[in-house]
Amino acid sequence: MDHFLYRGGVLHAEDVALPEIAAAVGTPFYVYSAATLTRHFRLFDEALEGLDHLVCFAMKSNSNLAVIKLLGDLGAGMDVVSGGEYARARAAGIPGSRIVFSGVGKTADEMRQALTGGVRQFNVESEPELYRLDAVAREMGRRAPIALRVNPDVDARTHEKISTGRKEDKFGIPLARARAVYAVAAELSGIEVVGVDVHIGSQLTDLQPFAAAYAKVADLVVALRDDGHDIRRVDLGGGLGIPYERSNAAPPLPTDYGAMVREIFADLDVEVEIEPGRLISGNAGLLVSQVIYVKSGEDRDFLILDAAMNDLIRPAMYGAWHDIVPVAEPAAGSDRRPYDVVGPVCESGDTFAKSRPLPPLDEGDLVAFRSAGAYGAVMASEYNSRPLIPEVLVRDDHFAVIRPRPTFDEMLSRDTIPDWL
């Protein structure tokens, strides 16, 4: 469910008509619904009711400060994967005690940054990282709380580029080596072992891979406790998918996911951490764009939009589907015709959809890409020297620009021409 509905023949974000935002900020732009973000976080929080738990929002899906603060004020923790994300979380008021630092390539500077500012735990992905973190922590006179990320060799059955729990993936420590690496960690004076971490991929639409991985984690917790380790937490990662194509079957609900987690871990007396990103922010956002031209080709018609692959790269990178809808509600039973929906970037890859059936559209019409709140703005670039587009947050009947569109002068000011040129 989201809060983007037609009212009076016009698509609204909560109680704000999208043409009103377009008139204020220009197109293209991202718009997020505070009500949807709130609802989706609470669905996860309530799904784990009865378990000691913390829902940590995966900031890689959407790292706007306003979004982070909104979720943090609801009690969310944050899952960060870089020093920049850590800085954003702290700037949005998230205490270090609610920040989990993940990622395969943490640098010594990032470790120092988190140890200085406070961190709930580091999810350690390799033995070299473990030794590096121990050295940094000892140098600072600290002990770094850690969970080792184990690789359970479970196929998440998702897109090749977002599957992370198979033995051939770069993530985590092989499950067969976990007990030996925990034994090493226990001997390091700069390390405090607190838990076990796993994350098998993103956009999963079936609970079975989760259950398979989590069962292995539960067995590992028992074995590690038998080895003398004080395992207090299990970090189960994120990955639950969203229905990008409304005509497809819906993925499992957070309530179903929560029931599965409770069945596996309720008797282990551990705190459960989960790190949803896409399911909280994905359907909470739209990308709104304007039709520049309707072009008739040799054997197809093109909708050329003012949004491009640099603004929303998922279709070009993953072949991802986003429902595309006109902002002006089409008449019931109106004819549809196939369009290739494309952007203005000088690459054939700048294509959002091929032969997509849509109502007839004209120059100047607005269209909205649904389910664009995750991995949209965060993956955007200034390719072709196109400015990053605005982000807007709506609550009830008012909206605020939470990231403005930079001017060309602001873009150019970041470059420097050496005085010897």
Transcribe 260-309 into DSSP letters. HHHHHHGGG--EEEE---HHHHGGGEEEEEEEEEEEE-SS-EEEEES--T
List the catalytic residue out of 346, 416, 420, 421.
Answer: 346
| Strand order across the beta sheet in which 4-7 lies | 4-7, 10-13, 16-17
Helix (H/G/I), strand (E/B), else coil: 150: strand
**Dihedral, CA of residue 156, residue 269, residue 118 and residue 142, to nearest 10:** -110
CB 92 within 8 A of CB 72: yes
Cis amide prior to 28 (ω within 30 degrees): yes
- Annotated active-site residue 56? The verdict is no
- The whole-angstrom separation of Cα 66 and Cα 319 is 29
Transcribe 329-396 into DSSP letters. PPPTT---EEEEEE-SSSSTT-EEEEEEEE----TT-EEEESS-SSSSGGG---GGGPPPPPEEEEET
Using CA atoms, how far residue 177 sits from 121, 126, 127, 150, 152, in Å, is 21, 11, 10, 9, 11
Nearest to 124 by CA among 141, 115, 111: 111
- For residue 136, what are its two tokens? 């940094």
CB 370 within 8 A of CB 325: yes
Alpha-helical segments (H) within 27-107: 34-47, 65-73, 83-91
- The whole-angstrom separation of Cα 276 and Cα 56 is 7
What residues are annotated to the active site? 346
